[in-house]
Structure 1
Amino acid sequence: LYISPLKALAVDIERNLGKPVEEIGLPVTIETRTGDTPSHKRQRQKLAPPDILLTTPEQLALLIASNDARRFFEDLRYVVFDELHSLVTSKRGHLLALGLARLRSFVPGLQTIGLSATVAEPDELRRWLVSQASPGAMSELIVVTGGAKPDISILDSEERVPWAGHSARYATPEIYREIKRHKTTLLFVNTRSQAELLFQELWRVNEDTLPIALHHGSLDVAQRRRVEKAMGENALRAIVATSTLDLGIDWGDVDLVVHVGAPKGASRLAQRIGRANHRMDEPSKAILIPANRFEVLECRAALDANYLGAQDTPPLVNGGLDVLAQHVLGCACGAPFRADALFDEVRTAAPYASLDRPTFDRVIDFVATGGYALRNYERYARIRQTREGLWRVSNPAVAQQYRLNVGTIIEVPALNVRYVQAGSRGAASRGGRVLGKIEEAFLE
């Protein structure tokens, strides 16, 4: 089981693993399972799991909440967490830690492996990877030394750098010249709106009609996959992207990373510039483009931190009780449980190692009643205790609702964006091809 923080990274790993496996002729099946995977393929995977399953934390939570979870995972031997630093520092990591504890209850001899190139406190991640039934237990640590130092510079623009703004329009001609000088350039920005603006500005000056693409989370999945395929085939000269492509991805012959705007952290900068010349013996080349004069200072600080090898990954914190409540409900959706056994299991997860029993019991009560404000409303009683002392989901509709809303990534109202179709009399009509989605707040 390979767990990635990004869907695009899982797809990339499938591509990089699948080709050598096919050429060697190994009898190994490799498949991805993400939010973009069709439902019929997910059902088939549950009946006949592949040898290597590449997935995300949310899909793991869904698999654990299924009725046949124990059977599905009975042959599991290894769990690999890629970009571990990105997974564990949020509530998403808390849910993943609880999922890992659940997997250990299914397969006691499970081996876990964490991968990361930007670790601030290795011992915290070493504890996260193993059961905390023995307090303070840590995994082994393997450190890979060497590798070429990156070549990073800050753009010394001929144009006047503005005092304010985040578009960096002043540098568009110079960015375009760098794109023409290199094979493939990856341009990172911090927001989707910046990505759209930069993409538009580059096409405005693209006199040579170079193939330049756009990649961010609001684009339609089919469009994203087309861009990723073109990158893998080295068919693009540049791609403008947000964080959807900044972790571990190895797309084609990228030989330059341009970061437009301050990187907002040394670890983030290290991850993003590592996409260029993604090999041990070649230095990654990157150019930082400050969007305004104050960002010149931020870029300088990030550059200095990178050369010193400093990391600023946030420290791990105790697990959230809202996440625990979600996990409790997920366990009940999978199979009835005893509170004593689940409490012992939850405490083996590093973020919940210090959880006390009264707090745990209050979480159980919250899931069972909806809390003091909602306990008089029947529909908020999501789990019930049987005469045998087992907690089970109160009705199938609760399990269905859980599976539709699993995870800690907050969903925001979004609208479909479509191409306009010409009507019979030349007027615009509905039903054009979907371009992607856009948040209501962004539109307003």
Structure 2
Amino acid sequence: MTELPAALKTWFDARGWDLHPHQQTMLERAGAPALLLIAPTGGGKTLAGFLPSLAELAERPEPGLHTLYVSPLKALASDIRRNLSTPISEAGLPIRVEDRTGDTPASRKKRQRADPPHILLTTPESLALLTSYEDAGRMFAGLKRVVVDEIHALAESKRGDQLMLALARLQTLAPGLRRVGLSATVDDPDAIARLMARHPDPCEIVEADPGPEPDISMLVTEERPPWSGGGAKYAIPAVLEAVRQHRTTLIFHNTRAQAEIFFHNLWLANEEALPIGIHHGSLDRVQRERVEAAMVRGDLRAIVCTGSLDLGIDWGDVDLVIQVGAPKNVKRLVQRIGRANHRYNAPSKALLVPANRFEVVECVAALEAVRDRDLDGEPRGPGPRDVLCQHILIAAASGPFDADMLYVEMNAAGPYAGLTRAEFDACLDFCATGGYALRAYDQWRRIRQREDGLWELRDPRSAARIRQNIGTIQDTDTLKVRMRGRGGKPLGEVEEGFAATLSKGDTFLIGGQIVRYEGLREMVVEVSRDAAQKPKIATFMGTKFATSTQLSDRIVRMFQNERWPELPGHTAEWLSLQREVSRLPEPGRLLIESFPHDGREQLVVYGFAGRNAMQTLGLLLTKRMEEEGLAPMGFVATDYATLIWGLDAVSDPRPLFDLERLEVGLDTWLQGNAVMKRTFRASATIAGLIERQVGGQRKTGRQATMSSDILYDTLVKYDPNHLMLEITRAEAMRGLVDFSRIREMCQRVGNRIDLLRLERVTPLAAPLFLEPGRVPIQGSADERLIEEEVTRLLDESGLAQVDAPAKPVWRVPW
């Protein structure tokens, strides 16, 4: 189909619109098995994805589900429904569009299964739930097209893996199904295309004109950024001035806690009482919706926000985006920039606000990457097996299945194209028995094989429990926060761990206001308003981003310039001074500085591997130093460096970076560490070994942690080769400890390690001494300090001998 039906063409003509070239191309290639459209924000890519469906339905409006739209956000699905209603109603098309998310009433969900609309808008979790019902085959039999919006956001997480397995199931139920992926920010189009395709079928890539270059720069302030910290309080006056000069400004932050702090400081400085709101995922839904509605009406001049407003929702007349703090990832920055001037061929306008001195360098590097259209991304690797286990249970909930056919179906999903039969069978056995150590317990024997060879649920009633626990999003263990009193206003959520630290009278920030903790009542944090000026800050979990590999490499390459005219004078002078007294890090080499400070020996490793990896490197290097008798006392890590302090200077660092020894040290550390237990809990919940919802009631975080810790310790002791332990180690290595970046660093530099012995702290190392999150090491340094103090006291008292204290065990309280 290459032409618009008459009704749609009339609608376009009435508005004076013509199809963009990429929209025409999507219409012409509507029959392709899979398409990936890469188009700039505001370029009409969502309409381009729907045009073939609207055209087909306008000519042949047959009953039943024709098109399924999947987005990462519930709010985005609702926004698309509103936007689609305009051309459908004004063109007089007989098309019914509905959304289905966690907020949809149960009565409507039930009706949608019996009488589905022509176009259904949903999320990966709701789609997985729909495929688990016995009537899924009837509901999806006539499905013609699936449109996946913001595919780049889903491709980076387990939600994307789950979605691709669901699409493979839909392809079995509707063999002629056509797939469409939409995105504005794709670093590797071929990789996303492979993800979208039904393996081994190809996926065609359609790239739109990228449009004009964004108007993006770094905010110039009279006050210099501090050496460390993430609040950017110094920039508040300049940010307020930028807000005054624009209609609506989105002020993005990397974490929810930073957003709360900045909003509080911004409001205190807002003497003109400009209408400013705050929006993030820990706030109460009603409060978020109130802010969203105010944005659409144009009532707000600025919104302090997080990733909750990253994606393609068109909230009002935004003409400026401000990113506070280094973006850490160029692709995320491009996505956020696109929220401003959300129109085709209109340049987006954005300002970057570095929170500290080093982030000035990172922001300039990010600006250059945006101008070069150099997006970053990390390879995802094979699809995780905990998601695979959940999918097997979903398949069983929908009815008996043939294992051979299910394996072929899973192999057709992009992330699982390399799945071996042995890996599949291990997951199948896990779902059937729980594994060797757990096979005696009925609660983990969830499926069985019938005499005819088909697999089914051992107890049909367990289907309801499986459906209650579908999903890959691992919510932080949180508690609701409400104003004290009957019918108190809900404010949002805080972490259980944070709530446990509160005493009556403590104050903290939530939703931009300071509240006073009054007590815990029926698992709800009760608070009252407080006029304090310096609150205790709520620790929202959120995502703590690490600087991407590509952006880190660009920063190191920038260091090689003779001068830096693109940097503010104070930052350029800082780097020049570093070059004079030491060196700047170089590509392909590892710079290490050693110097005395504050009565201790300091070692700084400039690895530029991201915060998680540099934190892990600190743990492993201090363990290696302890083994070498170098008496480390503690460390602190940032995205670019790890600072270690101790009693002895390091003369040869190369043995410390022996990759094989580092991996052995990591394995030893991981075996009994809280990181592994936390990772196990997340993967075991996804795989169905641990249930968070039972009988419609959600377990508390403490209940879930206790049961998962008991399971973990049992498997480690009695079944160390259990599938869940294999999955846990792989997830910990890839995620929380990010060992792959340490491995890549060691392999890249080899023996090209430069140790500089210096007399004092260097300019590049100075901010590390101000960094929070210092991790103390308890080991031989404690013993030596104790011995020295005991010797001093004994010398003063005249005693000659004393029994030496026992050697303490090396351990890290993390």
Q: Same fold (TM over 0.5)?
A: yes
Task: State the Cα distance separating 1:313 from its structure 2 match.
Answer: 2.3
- Over aligned residues, Cα RMSD in angstroms? 1.5
Q: How does 1:350-365 map to 2 (within 5 A)?
A: 350-365=414-429
In the alignment, the residues of structure 2 paired with residue 13 and residue 109 of structure 1 have an alpha-carbon distance, to the nearest angstrom, of 25
Task: State the Cα distance separating 1:152 from its structure 2 match.
Answer: 0.7
Task: State the Cα distance separating 1:174 from its structure 2 match.
Answer: 1.3
Spell out, residue by residue over 1:16-71, the C-alpha distance to the aligned partner (whole angstroms, 9 max, x if none).
22233233332222222222223222222222222221111111111111121111
Report whether the alignment pairs 1:295 with 2:351: no
In the alignment, the residues of structure 2 paired with residue 439 and residue 28 of structure 1 have an alpha-carbon distance, to the nearest angstrom, of 44
Report whether the alignment pairs 1:115 with 2:182: yes
Residue 368 of structure 2: which of 294, 304, 322 is its match? Answer: 304
The size of the alignment, in residue pairs, is: 433
CA contact (8 A) 1:185 1:237 kept: yes
Normalising by structure 1, what TM-score? Answer: 0.94
Partner of 1:172: 236
Report whether the alignment pairs 1:317 with 2:381: yes
Q: How does 1:126-141 map to 2 (within 5 A)?
A: 126-132=193-199, 135=200, 137-141=201-205
Q: Report the 3-state secondary structure (helix = DSSP H, G, I; strand = E; otherwise coil) of the residue aligned with 1:324.
A: helix
Task: State the Cα distance separating 1:110 from its structure 2 match.
Answer: 0.3
CA contact (8 A) 1:8 1:245 kept: no
Partner of 1:211: 275
Residue 465 of structure 2: which of 391, 398, 401 is its match? Answer: 401
Summarize the Cα distance change of 1:192–1:15 in structure 2 as closer, same or farther, 3 Å threshold.
same
Summarize the Cα distance change of 1:60–1:357 in structure 2 as closer, same or farther, 3 Å threshold.
same
In the alignment, the residues of structure 2 paired with residue 149 and residue 442 of structure 1 have an alpha-carbon distance, to the nearest angstrom, of 43
Task: State the Cα distance separating 1:366 from its structure 2 match.
Answer: 0.4
In the alignment, the residues of structure 2 paired with residue 308 and residue 169 of structure 1 have an alpha-carbon distance, to the nearest angstrom, of 30
Amino acid across the alignment from 2:478: A
Task: State the Cα distance separating 1:370 from its structure 2 match.
Answer: 0.6
CA contact (8 A) 1:92 1:409 kept: yes
Report whether the alignment pairs 1:160 with 2:227: no
In the alignment, the residues of structure 1 paired with residue 121 and residue 487 of structure 2 have an alpha-carbon distance, to the nearest angstrom, of 34
Task: State the Cα distance separating 1:442 from its structure 2 match.
Answer: 4.2
Unmatched runs of 5 consecutive residues or more in structure 2:
1-67, 502-814
In the alignment, the residues of structure 2 paired with residue 173 and residue 397 of structure 1 have an alpha-carbon distance, to the nearest angstrom, of 61
Report whether the alignment pairs 1:270 with 2:334: yes
Larger RCO, structures 1/2 (Cα 8 Å, 6+ apart): 1
In the alignment, the residues of structure 1 paired with residue 283 and residue 261 of structure 2 have an alpha-carbon distance, to the nearest angstrom, of 15
Spell out, residue by residue over 1:361-385, the C-alpha distance to the aligned partner (whole angstroms, 9 max, x if none).
1110000111112111111101111
Partner of 1:435: 491
Partner of 2:63: none
Q: Report the 3-state secondary structure (helix = DSSP H, G, I; strand = E; otherwise coil) of the residue aligned with 1:392.
A: strand
Task: State the Cα distance separating 1:213 from its structure 2 match.
Answer: 1.3
Task: State the Cα distance separating 1:414 from its structure 2 match.
Answer: 0.9
Partner of 2:79: 12
Residue 31 of structure 1: which of 98, 104, 112 is its match? Answer: 98
CA contact (8 A) 1:124 1:316 kept: no
Amino acid across the alignment from 2:490: V
Larger CA Rg, structure 1 vs 2: 2
CA contact (8 A) 1:233 1:252 kept: yes
Summarize the Cα distance change of 1:74–1:414 in structure 2 as closer, same or farther, 3 Å threshold.
same
Q: Point out 4+ residue stretches in structure 1 off by more than 6 angstroms.
A: none
Task: State the Cα distance separating 1:397 from its structure 2 match.
Answer: 4.3
Structure 1 stretch 1-10 or stretch 23-32: which is displaced more? 23-32
In the alignment, the residues of structure 2 paired with residue 176 and residue 298 of structure 1 have an alpha-carbon distance, to the nearest angstrom, of 23
In the alignment, the residues of structure 1 paired with residue 357 and residue 475 of structure 2 have an alpha-carbon distance, to the nearest angstrom, of 35
Residue 128 of structure 2: which of 52, 61, 82 is its match? Answer: 61
Identity of aligned residues (%): 55
In the alignment, the residues of structure 1 paired with residue 338 and residue 497 of structure 2 have an alpha-carbon distance, to the nearest angstrom, of 33
Partner of 2:38: none
In the alignment, the residues of structure 1 paired with residue 498 and residue 235 of structure 2 have an alpha-carbon distance, to the nearest angstrom, of 25
Partner of 2:739: none
Normalising by structure 2, what TM-score? Answer: 0.52
Summarize the Cα distance change of 1:112–1:268 in structure 2 as closer, same or farther, 3 Å threshold.
same
In the alignment, the residues of structure 2 paired with residue 218 and residue 59 of structure 1 have an alpha-carbon distance, to the nearest angstrom, of 21
Q: Report the 3-state secondary structure (helix = DSSP H, G, I; strand = E; otherwise coil) of the residue aligned with 2:205.
A: coil
Spell out, residue by residue over 1:275-307, the C-alpha distance to the aligned partner (whole angstroms, 9 max, x if none).
000112211000001111111111111111100
Task: State the Cα distance separating 1:156 from its structure 2 match.
Answer: 1.5
In the alignment, the residues of structure 1 paired with residue 388 and residue 428 of structure 2 have an alpha-carbon distance, to the nearest angstrom, of 9
In the alignment, the residues of structure 2 paired with residue 382 and residue 352 of structure 1 have an alpha-carbon distance, to the nearest angstrom, of 23
Structure 1 stretch 323-332 or stretch 171-180: which is displaced more? 171-180
Q: Report the 3-state secondary structure (helix = DSSP H, G, I; strand = E; otherwise coil) of the residue aligned with 2:224.
A: coil
In the alignment, the residues of structure 2 paired with residue 397 and residue 173 of structure 1 have an alpha-carbon distance, to the nearest angstrom, of 61
Partner of 1:148: 212
Partner of 1:425: none
Q: How does 1:240-251 map to 2 (within 5 A)?
A: 240-251=304-315
Spell out, residue by residue over 1:179-213, the C-alpha distance to the aligned partner (whole angstroms, 9 max, x if none).
11100001110111111112222221222222211
Unmatched runs of 5 consecutive residues or more in structure 1:
422-429
In the alignment, the residues of structure 1 paired with residue 460 and residue 238 of structure 2 have an alpha-carbon distance, to the nearest angstrom, of 59
In the alignment, the residues of structure 1 paired with residue 328 and residue 210 of structure 2 have an alpha-carbon distance, to the nearest angstrom, of 26
Report whether the alignment pairs 1:231 with 2:298: no
